[in-house]
Chains A and B, each alone.
Chain A
Amino acid sequence: MDILAKGIALAGCAIGAGLALIAGIGPGIGEGVAVGRALEAIGRQPEVSGQVTSTMLLGCAIAETTGIYGFVTGLLLIFVAPGMFMGRLG
């Protein structure tokens, strides 16, 4: 039963890590749309390309936040959680 409990805990960590990284879809789609609009703007008015590019990068880095939340959760589940759970289960 001890092995079973440890197995279930580790399996839970692994499945949770996989599910956590589904959060990567959001920034991918959002930033793709943002870059598309930026390219349209540059195509319409090539002289604003510097300003449009830097504003687009700033916006992308802020939209990246929720993807990073999911990534850090996945990292914690893979590297930190097994140690914690193994310590509790003995």
Chain B
Amino acid sequence: MNITVEGAKVFWTIKLGLPILGDLEISETIVVAWLVMAIITGLCWWLTRDMKIDNISKKQAAAEALVELADNFVISNMGEKFRYFIPFVAALFSTSLISNLIALIPNPVTLFTDFDSSTTILESLPNANAFRSPTADLSTEAAWAIIVFILITRQKIKTDGFGGYLKGFTTPIAVMTPFNILSELATPISMACRHFGNILSGIVINGLIYAALALASGALLGLLPGILGEVLAKIPVLSVGLPAILSFYFDWFTGVMQAFIFSMLTVQYIKNAAGD
């Protein structure tokens, strides 16, 4: 049984030769992220077509409900004066949500073609070819966390002034300065790693259980005599059912929860930066 945990496949490399950043690698993360962006943009465009003032259609009612949800979320947590954060928080939440849930959609490109000549279709079925979430790559969450960190720092400097911001590191005693700096840096790191760890652990555990059940069904059905056992052992019968039940927690619950937590933490940190 060969289980490997790999990163995203790199499809194409654009040789730029920049000093620190190196080349530009178009990996599966970036391609699926484009797909996520296309889905969200298409949804927004479709929901806002043919809008009326009276006698609204159900589509428009759904669109208004979504906008009200985003408004209430940001304003009830941050107050009236942060209205300009609503588009950013709504974009963050929707991108994170659709990115996490896109792992449930089978990948039409690799579903039937991702096997070499030495395996049959039946043998390659346990590979479970779905889109790889862009959030299964730490780069995605690190980018979001850096943006949120810049926003928090900007809010702190706007509230206390640059001198007040630097002085805030020496409260309550000057000796605490390195610890304050560390806890400041821990904010984006923990936000990114929490989201990434939850999504990656879902992928790994699902893959391990899938492969283990395929192996178990191969061992069980291989006990049948002769050619019947040989042919049936390749069909992963036991892999049906349990991964689907587990995916309720690992894909649906964790995906929605982590998107919600990332947005909630963004809102709370910025409010704390402005409040005290």
Contact = CB atoms under 8 A, between A and B. Distances in A.
B132 to A, nearest CB: 16
A57 B258 CA distance: 11
A2 B189 CA distance: 38
Contacts, number: 38
A69 B201 CA distance: 10
27 contacts: A58-B257, A58-B264, A61-B258, A61-B261, A62-B194, A62-B261, A62-B265, A64-B198, A65-B190, A65-B197, A68-B193, A68-B198, A68-B201, A69-B193, A69-B197, A71-B201, A72-B193, A72-B196, A72-B197, A72-B201, A75-B5, A75-B200, A75-B201, A75-B204, A79-B4, A79-B5, A80-B5
Contacts of A68: 193-194, 197-198, 201
Interface string B179-211: 000000000001001101110110010000000
Say what secondary structure dominates the interface of chain B.
helix
B73 interface: no
Contacts of A79: 4-5
Interface in B153-202: 190, 193-194, 196-198, 200-201
A57 B257 CA distance: 9
Contacts of A72: 193, 196-197, 200-201
Nearest to A57: B257
Interface in A46-86: 57-58, 61-62, 64-65, 68-69, 71-72, 75, 79-80
A64 B197 CA distance: 10
Nearest to B204: A75
B200 A58 contact: no
Q: Which has the most chain B C-beta neighbours within 10 Å: A62, A68, A71?
A: A68
A58 B193 contact: no
Contacts of B200: 72, 75
Given A65-B190, A75-B5, A80-B5, A58 B197 contact: no
Contacts of B258: 61
B5 A71 contact: no
Contact of A61 (B196, B204, B257): B257
A68 B190 CA distance: 10
Contacts of A80: 5
Contacts of B5: 75, 79-80
A65 B193 contact: yes
B260 interface: yes
A65 B194 CA distance: 5
B193 to A, nearest CB: 6
Given A72-B193, A79-B5, A58 B260 contact: yes
Given A58-B257, A64-B198, A75-B5, 15 more contacts: A57-B257, A61-B257, A61-B258, A62-B261, A62-B265, A65-B193, A68-B193, A68-B197, A68-B198, A69-B197, A71-B197, A72-B196, A75-B204, A79-B5, A80-B5
